[in-house]
A and B are shown apart, each in its own frame.
Chain A
Amino acid sequence: MKTKTSRAMGCSALLAAAGLLLSACGSSGDGGSGQTGSTSFQGRGPITYAAGKDATGVTPKVIARWNELHPKEKVTYIQLPTDADSQRQQMIQNAETKSDAYTVLSLDVVWTSEFAAHQWIDRLPENQFPLQKMLKPVVETARYRGGLYAAPASSDGGLLYYRTDLMDKAGITAPPTTWSEMTNDCAQVKKKVPAAKGMSCYAGQLQKYEGLTVNFAEAVNSAGGVVTDANGKPDVDTPAARKGLDFLAGSVKDGTIPKEALTYQEEDGRQAFQAGKVMFLRNWPYMYSLAEKSPVAGKFAVAPLPGLDGPGSSSLGGHNLALSSFAKNKATALDFMKFFSSEDSATTFLKDASLAPAYADLYNTPSLVGKYPYLPVLKQSILHAVPRPRVVAYGDVTSAIQQEAYAVLTGTKSSAQALKDLQSDLQKATAQ
């Protein structure tokens, strides 16, 4: 037994060494050959569309419409998991193996830089898409180093949900535009409305996950700071950024934000708001129609996010369409992307799936506003939005942000120290 094992191990060590030599020789040859020149969009035929599972069922409907019009260039919908991380994982796996299984990818807005830098997706011709009709911050999320790498399909911005019934009772007529107004309003309501005694003031998504990055970036941006500057360089160790982070940390400390909000994701916050536990809540527009069916129906409204000295700025959510570099039938793919991101399709997605469109004028269409009263507010939110850091190593950046922000919120680190550490982490992550 003993001799057998040691012999087998010796043998495998030899094999390993041989394998190393071979692969070392193999991989030295193809180094340095970057992709040059622009892509030619050639080839027509069947393609695929890879996106997360669509619970609303609108995506298959829109694709069916395309398939009716283009029977020879059919699109197959490849449903990826609902969870964004798994979607990204599968797309990356496909790209790493240079598979042509996915043609058009539905990318979360924060992935654009990473996918573009790895040349997993093709640069798109700008003149093919009606970018000037779209909201500018949304288009920015589809760019990498000035080039357009994706077509904006849907957007999303943060909104401040607040309880109109309580505000009315306390005699407050307008929603708060600054953080101090918000805490004042909250104190007023608590003083004048007995039913609101046990309520907390404010909550967002402060669990240690992507939502914390969103909420942190919003706080920093709303206080006049930045996480990364216009050139993508980290610049977060500033007094303004500190004021933003201190607002969150201070609110947790003094109870403005309930302690349990440190475990909140979107749904937890919604539950708390609907159960009448919090007065003000930062959340995405998806919550509007759900809250309309809850006990707080008719008792709430939305406003742009408050900031330090005036209205704050939201982060951006949403999805962009990108073309896999390894796909076939790229001419068809480009046409499909134009179709899928067109104003017509965007209207369908807004009407049937309440996805925020990239097109500016849809936010003012009366019939749509009648159905979704939050649209004008959402437009303001998106227009003043600052995208989350657009960096290649977004995974590292967001985990560094979550790490430091969470340490401050839970009181294990001072905001000054955390921002200093974050700055150096971000510099490392963006230097590569």
Chain B
Amino acid sequence: MAGTKTPPGTAENGPDRVAGGPSSRPTGPTSRRRARTRATTSPARMAALLVSPTLLVLSIVVLYPTLMALQESLYGTKGLDPKTGFIRTSEPFVGLRNYTDILGPAGDRFWNAFWNTSFFTVVTVGAETVIGVAMALIMHRAFRGRALARAGILVPWAVPTAISALLWRWIFNSNGIANAVIGHQILWTTEGFHAKVAVIVAEVWKTAPFIGLLVLAGLQVIPKEVYEAARIDGASAPRQFWHITLPLVKPALLVAVLFRCLDALRMFDLPYILVGAQKNSVETLSMLAQNEASNVRFGPASAYAMLLFLYVFLIALAFVRLLGADLVGGAARGGESRRRRRRMTVPRRAEVTA
């Protein structure tokens, strides 16, 4: 249903945008205007036709599940019939109660998970950005053994999260390396702030290379001449970094940070395996939704998932709108600063978004 409806919607959009709204309005039908409309309609139709398979697939694998989850989130938990001892076969419709519940006492767990998720995102992405940029700078330098350094830095990113969580669980074992190194026994996998620290360390270790990789791609397209000119002008290395490298690598960096934020917001496997399920200190929204679903409460689980979806969506939107992260190449929507920067980013974009 969704699949068949969307393409006409966009087809309708096409002429609006390209030929301008007036085409459909009866504002003096001159022959020139009509000709223009006809000329632009058929390419637009063609375009709509060409993207329709994509839209169809997207609506099946993205839109439909999302709508199903939204619908499910309006239903409650199947109740137990005390007479027969059986669970009732249908879920009661509860409207928005699953959502309003988070404002009541039952919301404690949700808000705890919400703050954990936010905390992990801010701290890990912050640390990863700093470390990732440093890694990129190192990888970018020409020195002996550069290939080895590059490969070495990328290894953690190549390790599957579940495996790296197991690795770190050994490291953070009560008799593990971490405790041996600091010479003091901390029970990392018990409740408490140290559990958060363990997750953050493992997460940063694993994903800083991702930022490093994307930033490296951004670094490689900065023309050497810019640096040469700066050197001739007598700019110091830190100055070059702040005034040349950082601004020029910003589009790539923003995309990397955005991706990492979205990833971190739905963090699940690392705390789940490293520290364990149902540990308040590290429970994220994904873990909470999974826990509800595994206890056969699909309604609340969907509600939590929808809230997480909304949260992620808002963050992504904020990135695109406020920081101007350029996800879709050439989607610049005007604005003085944007247009100015656009000149710089055009050649690079192909590499970043490829």
Residues of A near any B CB (own CB < 8 A)? 1-4, 7-8, 11-12, 15-16, 18-20, 23-24, 27-28, 30-35, 85, 88-89, 92, 114, 116-119, 144-145, 207-209, 259-260, 262-263, 268, 392-393, 395-396, 399, 402-403, 406-407, 410, 412, 432
Can you name 12 extra interface pairs (CB under 8 A) apart from A20-B74, A117-B85, A119-B87? A3-B13, A4-B17, A8-B10, A11-B6, A15-B1, A117-B80, A260-B187, A262-B190, A263-B188, A392-B80, A395-B294, A432-B79
B67, A89: Cβ atoms under 8 Å? no
- Give the chain A neighbours of B16 by CB distance below 8 A: 3
Point out the residues of chain B lying under 8 angstroms from A144, CB to CB: 85
Contacting residues, chain B, for A20 (C-beta < 8 A): 71, 74
Contacts of A92 in B (CB 8 A): 294, 296
21 intermolecular pairs with C-beta atoms under 8 Å apart: A1-B333, A3-B16, A7-B13, A11-B9, A12-B63, A31-B88, A32-B89, A34-B84, A34-B86, A35-B86, A85-B294, A88-B294, A92-B296, A118-B87, A145-B85, A260-B174, A260-B187, A268-B174, A392-B87, A403-B280, A410-B192
Where the two chains meet, the residues of B that have a C-beta atom closer than 8 Å to any C-beta of A are: 1-2, 5-6, 9-10, 13, 16-17, 63, 67-68, 70-71, 74, 77-81, 84-91, 93, 173-175, 185, 187-192, 276-280, 291, 294-296, 331, 333
Nearest Cβ distance between residue A108 and chain B, in whole angstroms? 14
Majority secondary structure of chain B interface residues (helix, strand, loop or mixed): loop
The answer to whether A30 touches B9 (Cβ under 8 A) is no
A20-B74, A144-B85, A403-B278 known; A410-B2 Cβ under 8 A:
no
Bound together, the chains give a CA A116 to CA B56 distance in angstroms of: 41
CA distance A399 to B295 in the complex (A): 10
Q: Which of A3, A16, A33 has the most CB of B within 10 A?
A: A16
Contact status A263-B173, CB under 8 Å = yes
Q: Which 3 A/B pairs are nearest by Cβ-Cβ distance?
A: A260-B174, A31-B90, A395-B295
* Distance A207 CA – B89 CA, assembled complex (angstroms): 36
State A3–B173 Cα separation when bound (angstroms).
54
Max chain A C-beta neighbours (<10 A), residue from B16, B70, B188, B296: B296
Most buried by B among A92, A207, A263: A263
In the bound complex, how far is the Cα of B13 from the Cα of A427, in angstroms?
Answer: 56
Measured between C-beta atoms, what is the minimum distance from B106 to chain A in Å? 10
Please indicate the chain A residues that have their CB under 8 angstroms from the CB of B89 in the complex.
30-34
Q: Check B189–A263 contact: CB distance below 8 A.
A: yes
Cβ–Cβ < 8 Å partners of B190 in chain A: 208, 262-263, 410
State whether B87 touches A117 (Cβ < 8 A): yes
- The residues of B that contact A145 with a CB separation of less than 8 Å are 85
Give the contacting residue for B278; candidates A88, A208, A393; CB below 8 A: A208
B6 proximity list for chain A (CB < 8 A): 8, 11
B278 & A402 in contact (Cβ 8 Å cutoff): yes
> Across the interface, which residues of B come within 8 angstroms of A263, CB to CB?
173-174, 187-190
> Are A208 and B187 also in contact (CB < 8 A) when A12-B67, A31-B89 are?
no
State the CA gap A16–B189 with chains docked (Å). Answer: 42
Given known contacts A1-B333, A207-B189, A395-B294, is B86 in contact with A119 (CB within 8 Å)?
Answer: yes
- B66 CB to closest chain A CB (Å) equals 8
> Which residues of the partner chain A approach B81 to less than 8 Å between Cβ atoms?
34
Q: Check if A117 sits within 8 Å of B86, measured CB to CB.
A: yes
Query: How many angstroms from the CA of A34 to the CA of B80 in the assembled complex?
Result: 11
Give the residues in chain A near B276, CB-CB below 8 Å: 207-209
A260-B175, A432-B80 known; A24+B93 contact, CB < 8 A:
yes
A407 to chain B minimum Cβ distance, whole angstroms, is: 8
**Which of A1, A12, A30 is most buried by chain B, counting CB atoms within 10 A of its CB?**
A12
CB distance from B72 to the nearest CB of A (A): 9
Q: Could you tell me if B5 and A15 are in contact, using CB atoms closer than 8 angstroms?
A: yes
**Least CB separation from A432: chain B residue:** B80
Task: Check B191 against A118 for contact (C-beta < 8 Å).
Answer: no
CA distance A18 to B4 in the complex (A): 14
Q: Which residue of A15, A32, A262 has the most chain B CB atoms within 10 A of its CB atom? A: A15
CB-CB < 8 A to B78: which residues of A?
A: 118
Chain A neighbourhood of B10, CB < 8 A = 4, 8
In the complex the two chains form, what is the Cα distance from A117 to B84 in whole Å? 9
**CB closest chain-A residue, reference B278:** A399
